[in-house]
Amino acid sequence: MRGKKIKILVVDDSAFMRKFIGDIISRDNELELVGTARDGEDALKKKDLLKPDVLTLDLEMPRLDGLATLRRLMETELLPVIMVSSHTRKGSEITLEALSAGAVDFVTKPSLFKGESAEELKIMLPQKIKAAAGARLYPRAGMPVKSEEDKTKKVFSEKLSKPFRHSALDRSLCNVVAIGASTGGPRALEDVIRGFPADLPAAVLITQHMPPGFTESFAKRLDRVSGLKVREARGKEKILPGEAYVAPGGYHLIVEAGQTVLSSTPPVQHVRPSADVMMESVAQFFGPGAIGVILTGMGRDGADGMAHIKKNGGRTIAQDPSTAVIASMPQAVIKNGLADEIVPLDRIAAGVSRLLNNKNGKEG
């Protein structure tokens, strides 16, 4: 969209929030506020007239709320939507439902008592709008629609990867799958985690860029769709096969002595939790028993972590960028030659299982 401003329609029942978000948009030279709407019904009428590139959509509104509005939008066209959520437990659960239904990303409403949350929104919202404008969208029932070029491109290595090799000292250690994701990740992670069998011979560690207050609900949502036992990491848990641990918002998830550890050390590349931090610790402790996976997301978090996994004998999988909502994170891995395999989203779970089966001496 170079040379052309990104048009945004702001949908919120609060006049204060419509002005607050509108002012943030108007201060950015790359963005254009084309209108506001006070509820979902108003938004559905105005979007046909104003033809925005991106919607910001409040969750709690009269007449037609944000989730119902989103579902109506997704029935007719794939328009990038950023949800505006409250910090409440109910707000987090509905936000995750919206992400699963097709929203690209979300921001949280600033607290009246915390000025820093308002300042954070002023920084994050323009970035997320710009990312959403370039997002690759797809309906809930299917994968991203591929171009003819994508369809003919070979994106998955059909030959079996070389088996993992362990010394006698480390055969007793659990295998670990370390997954990093950002924008578009909640929906992608649902697809991946759903594909893992309950008897997966590995633990799964997940870093999804998400603020505090949302990761507990996210872990519970993943637990409902997965045969694995999924929980928000609490720290000092023994890492076990068949279980998955989600990094809590605001903390890095690392491994020490085979247990989860939560760290409040500074953000890395502006994020905490960081996939790089998680993967480096996984690589150091599990060595060849580690598999790194990078999914959709903005930025390059995970690229350095994947390098550590490869250096210590593990294997790496990057999501095929043509199936990612935001391609930046997997592209950073691929550009640096750090992806052993480049796999479409709907085949990542099978690819991980195949690597684990090869490692354990089974047929792929």
Determine the distance from the C-alpha atom of residue 168 to the mean position of all C-alpha atoms in its chain, rounded to a whole number: 37
d(Cα 151, Cα 132) in Å, to the nearest integer? 24
Contacting residues for 133 by C-beta, under 8 A, at least 6 apart: 1, 6, 53, 54, 80
Q: Are 93 and 125 in contact (CB under 8 A)?
A: no
Q: Is the peptide bond before 330 cis (omega within 30 degrees of 0)?
A: no
Active site residue 209: yes
Distance CA 116, CA 161 (A): 48
Task: Name the active-site residue from 53, 301, 320, 340.
Answer: 301
Residue 1 near residue 134, CB atoms below 8 Å: yes
Question: Which letter does DSSP use for residue 288 in this model?
Answer: G
Catalytic residue among 12, 53, 92, 209: 209
Phi and psi at 349, nearest 5°, equal: -60, -45
Q: At what angle do helices 328-335 and 303-311 cross, to 10 degrees?
A: 40
Catalytic status, residue 13: no
Measure the CA–CA gap between 275 and 104, rounded to whole angstroms: 20
Beta-strand pair 229-232/290-294:
unpaired
Q: Is 28 a catalytic residue?
A: no
> Active-site residue among 42, 53, 58, 182?
182
Cα within 13 Å of Cα(222), Cβ side:
32
Strands 252-256 and 259-263: antiparallel
Supply 176's token pair.
Answer: 């670990």
Active-site positions read 182, 209, 301
